Amino acid sequence: MGVMQERYRSIVDVHVILYQDGQILLLERRATGYADGKLHLPSGHLEEGEPLHAGAAREAREEVGVALDPGHLTLAAVVHHRQREDLARVGMFFVATRWSGQPHVAEPHKAGKLVWADPSLLPSNTIDYPAAGIRAWLNNAGYVPHGW
């Protein structure tokens, strides 16, 4: 009897596009060791036993201090991101047009300032991975591979 090979598993990321008055909210990464000084959406890893939309709402609360009803989130795009040869991630991008609370840097040890930006004219220091998800949303692409 042969050795059973473990099934492939990928990291699942949830990203939140907070969209208001034609602009989206980006955070400047700081002191994380990954893409510090660059802009990213509120995002993070899905946790065990957590539905995608609940994970997205949790990340928005943790990172920018807003309360979202997961039922009001719309799946905007899926990005299969190849971070490096031996690591891929599946990014689920959700759009929120309603929330309560004023966005602020809720994790100052991980983020610098907040930036409202026109999604069709992203700042040049926006990380490529979330930029791919934002472009997919704007173009109604649904799914895009990134880095393959």
pLDDT above 90 for 147: yes
pLDDT at 32: 86
Domains, the chain, ranges and CATH?
11-146 (3.90.79.10)
pLDDT at 107: 95
Q: Following DSSP, what letter does each residue of 98-145 receive, concatenated?
A: --BS----S-TTTEEEEEEE-TTS--TTB-HHHHHHHHHHHTT--EEE
Give the residue, 9 or 76, on which the prediction is more confident: 76
pLDDT above 80 for 4: no
Token pair for residue 58?
Answer: 């949790």
pLDDT above 90 for 3: no
Pairing between strand 143-146 and 39-40? unpaired
pLDDT at 95: 98
Q: Measure the CA–CA gap between 142 and 69, rounded to whole angstroms.
A: 22
Give the residue, 5 or 123, on which the prediction is more confident: 123
pLDDT tens for each residue of 69-122: 999 999 999 999 999 888 999 999 999 999 999 999 999 999 999 999 999 999
pLDDT at 2: 67
pLDDT above 70 for 31: yes
pLDDT at 1: 61
Q: Measure the CA–CA gap between 126 and 64, rounded to whole angstroms.
A: 17
Residue type, position 148, single letter: W
| H/E run at residue 84 | strand 74-84
Which residues are CB-neighbours of 16 under 8 A, at least 6 positions away?
41, 42, 43, 56, 57, 59, 60, 68, 73, 94, 95, 96
Matching residue, tokens 């689920």: 92
- Name the CA radius of gyration of the chain, rounded: 16
Mean pLDDT of 26-38: 92
